[in-house]
Structure 1
């Protein structure tokens, strides 16, 4: 009985393995393409079969699943040098947001959904188009509101391509995209919907947004402008310092004048006041002494004595009967004092 159970168990395991290998799941945000013996499965129009998110069935061990990212992707562009209408160089840093719009065309045009190949073609196309657009604009227009219009025009040009009336010559990127578009037409026997061969639609790609992050001047130009601005600022600073020193000298001269004038005026007022005081003093003395002439003579003699005998070694040879000593005699010897 145990011998019968082993083949049954083996058969159940084999069925489960085959069933597991037959089922595959496409995750949300992805699309699936099935390869049979290395070749993509196609529909009646020779277009690759695209599997939407969900559970699907394939032939086990013969067919393989390849996933394509359906989400919006960001491609950073390396800062590059561009020339404006004024023949001035600018360093422009930008990025592109894109997603797959036609998975079957994208798969055929990029050799099996090679993201690197798609981004290389898109970057070359974007760089050529941006170079052409910036060559028609001046620096002022690029850094002002015209930049928004520039990014819109770039997005439209990438998505729709250029018309035959556009005088812009075909670039290497245009030729590469056109070659990929021709390969898709050959592989689908011309049943694929016609698109402009120099647009991103030829690769099955839609450009969602184009943004310019930074616009800078080249290093050598920036250094020259910085040195010129520095020289201008230093000239302005020197002019301001010179003007300040001139104003300081004017203020200092005005202050010195005010000091000199104030001191002179004060000295003049002091002399006038002192003269008036001396005049008033003399007048008072005159009025006082005119009332008492004898007392005036007595005061004058005392002042003369004080000035004559104020030293320690003064020697005077005078007659004792001289009138100079009349106030130094005793009262009974003093004759009437005459004025």
Structure 2
């Protein structure tokens, strides 16, 4: 059985351990530690490390020292040129004075409620003095910096430092957007119709010019062809005349045989003539017995084709 002295020693050690455990606290690099004595804040512990407090008298509130995000509700703003904008902005902030932060906001939720109101007012005030084009395109970065500066000035009493403000979106309201889209669509359709009309007109001009060139080329070709045919016919007639003059009998024979071929072209042609007819004398004998045409006389006329004899 243990002695009372040993038991008391154990109790004292346990009590000391509990007192040390309740008296010690640590501060991490991510937080501030704010000791509270009977609910009243004391100077904050900023540097990381091990600290002590009075047990049962003091407790410690931890405040995040990292950069935090703040989202605001999208709001409609009328720009200086009377155009409506639907703006969605957000901010990033951090606590720079934990004691003042605790005294004014108590928690991150309370700070965000106050900071959100300040951000919305600054966004409405700064963007309301700018034009639609400046917000959407031309001076967006400068406007965001001006909003950050205004928010920082108003949030200084909260122990907060706003490190960045961004405009996530700045668009026309839905009703205005639809009207703008329809107007743009109508303008594009008008431009497309004008381009198609101009293209049709240009195509007609090109076709007309092509048709005119085709007609000119065909006319010139026909003229050259007619001239060539005329020259050929003239040369042919001259050749035939020269040949006829050199050997009239052969020429008569040649012309007669050509005439025979032309008159008997149709199939099953039957011609009833007298066998002594002078037209067919070359069919009887190449020597052309019987009376023949005088020298230089043309070949006899070919008989007209008659219907087949019964």
How high is the TM-score relative to the length of structure 2? 0.82
Residues 303/203 of structure 1: CA separation in 2 closer, same or farther (3 Å cut): closer
CA pair 149-269 structure 1, distance change in 2 beyond 3 A: same
Which stretch shifts more, 59-68 or 223-232?
59-68
What is aligned with 2:45? Answer: 51
Q: Give the length in aligned residue pairs.
A: 290
Q: Does 1:79 align with 2:74?
A: yes
Residues 232-311 of structure 1 mapped to structure 2, 5 A cutoff: 232-304=187-259
RMSD: 2.7
Consecutive unaligned residues in structure 2, runs of 5 or more? 296-310
- In the alignment, structure 1 segments of 5+ residues that lack a partner are 42-47, 161-198
Shift of 1:256: 3.0
CA shift for structure 1 position 306: 5.1
Q: 1:98 aligns with which of 76, 93, 96?
A: 93
State the match for 1:130 in structure 2.
Answer: 123
Conservation of the 8 A alpha-carbon contact between 1:21 and 1:60: yes
Q: How do 1:25-64 residues align onto structure 2 when only pairs under 5 Å count?
A: 25-37=26-38, 39-41=39-41, 48-52=42-46, 53-64=48-59
Shift in Å at residue 102 of structure 1? 2.3
Q: 1:68 to 1:337 in 2, by over 3 A?
A: closer
- Shift of the 149–325 alpha-carbon distance from structure 1 to 2, 3 Å rule, reads closer
> Secondary structure of the equivalent of 1:202?
helix
Structure 1 residues 157 and 287: CA distance shift in structure 2, 3 A: same
Bigger relative CO (Cα 8 Å, ≥ 6 apart): 1
Match of 1:109 among 100, 104, 113: 104
Partner of 1:2: 2
Deviation at 1:64, TM superposition (A): 1.6
Structure 1 residues 50-89: Cα deviation after superposition (integer angstroms, max 9, x where no partner)? 1233211112233221111222222122221111111211
Give me the whole-angstrom Cα distance separating, in 1, the residues matched to 2:151 and 2:292. 141
**CA-CA distance at 1:145 after TM superposition:** 4.5
Structure 2 vs 1, CA of residues 219 and 329 (structure 1 numbering), >3 Å: closer, same or farther? closer
Distance 1:278 1:57, change over 3 A: same
- The superposition leaves residues 241-282 of structure 1 with CA deviations (integer Å, 9 ceiling, x where unpaired) of 222222222223333333333333333322221221111011
Cross-structure match for 2:15: 14
2:149 pairs, out of 156, 175, 180, with 156
**Normalising to structure 1: TM-score of the pair?**
0.75
What secondary structure is seen at the aligned counterpart in 1 of 2:163?
strand
How big is the shift at 1:90?
Answer: 0.7
The answer on whether the counterparts of 2:72 and 2:119 sit within 8 Å (CA) in structure 1 is: no
- Pair 1:313-2:270 in alignment: yes
The residue aligned with 1:173 is: none
Distance 2:52 2:62 in 1: 15
